[in-house]
Chain A
Amino acid sequence: MAVEALKIIREGEEEGRKLLDEAQASVANIQNDAEGEIKRLKEQAREDEQSSASEISAKYVQEGKQEEAAIVKTAEEEANALKAATESNLDSTVNVVLERILGVR
C-alpha cells in the first residue's frame, strides 16, 4: 500500500517537474521572441532612418533650389536693368576715358 502511494507521489512529482520544464522552455521561447522583436524593430529603425534621411535632405535641397532660382532670377533682372540703365551713360563715359587718355579736359 505504502509502495503504491510512493509510486503515485513520484509520478506526481515527475509531472510537476515536466510542468516546470515546460515553463522553462516557454521562457526561452518568450525571450527568443522578444530578442527577435527587438532585432526587427532595430532593422525597421535603420530602414526608417535611411528613408527619413533621404526625405529630409530632399526637402531642404528643394527649398534651397527654390530660393536659388529666385535669387538668380532677381540677379539676372538686376544685371539686365543695370546694363540698360548704363547704356545711356556710355557716351559720357567714353568722353571721360578719352579726356584722361588724351589729356584733354
Chain B
Amino acid sequence: MGAKEMVERIKDEASEERERIISEAKENANKKVEEARAELERQKKLFVDAEERKGAEEKDRIIRAARQNARKLRWTAEEEMIEKALEAALGRMKGVKSEGFKGTSYPEILAGLIKESALSIATGSSAGEDVEVLLSEEDAAASYVDPAMLTNVTTEISHDSGVEVQLSLSDERVNSAGGVIVRRKDGKIEVNNTFEQRMTRLSTSLREEIVKTLFTGK
C-alpha cells in the first residue's frame, strides 16, 4: 500500500468515525429531548388532574355556600314571619284591654291569671295562703281588678281545688304592659304572670305553636 492510499484510508476511517460520532450524538440528543418531552407530558397530566380536582372542590365549595345561603334565606323568611306574628300579637294586645279577646273581657283574663298564679302558690300547702296581687299603674288606675273580683276568685279556687287563699290587692306597682304578679305576703313565693314574662316563659312552646300554625295552617 502506497502512502497516498494509506492517507486515503486514514481519511475515510476518520470520516466514518466522525459520521458515527455525530450520528450517535444526534440520536442521544433526540432521545434526551423525547424523554424530557414525555416527562413533561406526564407532569402536565398530573398537574391538570390536580387542577381539575382543585377546580371541582372550589365549585363544590361555591355550591355548598349557596345551599347554606339558601337555607339561611328560608330561615330568615320564616323568622320574619314569626316576628311579624309576634309583633301583630303585641299590637293586638293593646286592644284586648278595651275589647277583650274571644269574648273574654280583660278583667276576666286578669282573673284567670290571678287564679292560675294563686293556685300554683297555694297548691300543696295545708294552711291557707295569704297572697297579694300586683298590677301595672295603668291596670290599677283602670280598676280592672277590684275586691269583689278577688273574692270571686278566692271562692272559685276553694270550690275547684279545695285550697284556701286570701287574696288582696297590693299598693306596689309593676312595670308591665299587662297581666299580674301574685306573691305570698311574706314575699317568699312569687308567680310572675305579666304578659312580658309569660311571653318569655312560654317562648319555646309558643314558638313551636307559631311555626305549626303559621306554616301548616293547623
A residues in contact (CB < 8 Å) with B: 4-6, 8-9, 11-13, 15-17, 19-20, 22-24, 26-27, 30-31, 33-34, 37-38, 41-42, 45, 48-49, 52-53, 56-57, 59-61, 63-65, 67-68, 71-72, 74-76, 78-80, 82-83, 86, 88-90, 92-104
Q: Which residues of A contact B30 (CB under 8 A)?
A: 34
Closest to B96 in A: A102
Please determine whether B74 and A9 come into contact, CB atoms closer than 8 angstroms: no
Could you say which of B4, B8, B73 has the most chain A C-beta atoms within 10 Å of its C-beta?
B73
B3 touches A9 (CB 8 A): yes
Q: Which residues in B have their C-beta under 8 angstroms from that of A20?
A: 14, 17-18, 21
Is there contact, CB below 8 Å, between B40 and A27?
Answer: no
Assembly CA distance A52 to B8 (angstroms)? 59
Is A67's CB under 8 angstroms from B63's CB? yes
Task: State the CA gap A97–B88 with chains docked (Å).
Answer: 10
- Is the C-beta of B152 less than 8 angstroms from some C-beta in chain A? no
| 16 more A-B residue pairs beyond the given contacts A41-B36, A60-B56, with a C-beta to C-beta distance below 8 A | A16-B10, A16-B11, A19-B15, A26-B22, A27-B22, A30-B25, A57-B55, A59-B55, A64-B58, A65-B62, A68-B63, A79-B74, A90-B84, A94-B89, A95-B102, A101-B89
Are A27 and B21 closer than 8 Å at their CB atoms? yes
Measured CB to CB, the closest approach of chain B to A73, in angstroms, equals: 10
Interface of B, helix, strand, loop or mixed by DSSP: helix
Q: For B86, give the chain A residue with the smallest CB separation.
A: A97
Asked whether A12 and B6 contact (CB < 8 A) given A48-B44, A79-B74, the answer is: yes
Interface-centre pick from B19, B29, B52, B78 (highest chain A CB count, 10 A): B29
Beta-carbon nearest neighbor of B102 in chain A: A104
- Assuming the A-B contacts A57-B51, A57-B58, A104-B112, are A89 and B33 also in contact, with contact meaning beta carbons closer than 8 angstroms in the complex? no
Q: A11-B7, A93-B214, A102-B109 are in contact. Are A61 and B59 (CB under 8 A)?
A: yes
Partner of A49, one of B10, B32, B47, B52: B47
Query: Contact check: which of A34, A45, A83 meets B44 at CB < 8 Å?
Result: A45
CA distance A23 to B78 in the complex (A): 86
Q: B62 contacts which chain A residues (CB < 8 A)? A: 61, 64-65, 67-68
Asked if A94 and B113 sit within 8 Å, CB to CB, the answer is no
Q: Measured between alpha carbons, how far is A72 from B63 in the docked complex, in Å?
A: 10
State whether A103 touches B3 (Cβ < 8 A).
Answer: no
Cα(A83)–Cα(B215), bound, Å:
9
Residues of chain B from 186 to 205 with CB closer than 8 A to chain A in the complex: 193, 195, 198-199, 202, 205
Q: Does B158 contact A (CB under 8 A)?
A: no
The reply to whether A97 and B85 contact each other, CB–CB distance below 8 Å, is yes
From 37 to 60 in chain B, residues with beta carbon under 8 angstroms from any chain A beta carbon are 37, 40, 43-44, 47-48, 51-52, 54-56, 58-60
Across the interface, do B81 and A83 meet the contact criterion of CB distance under 8 Å? yes
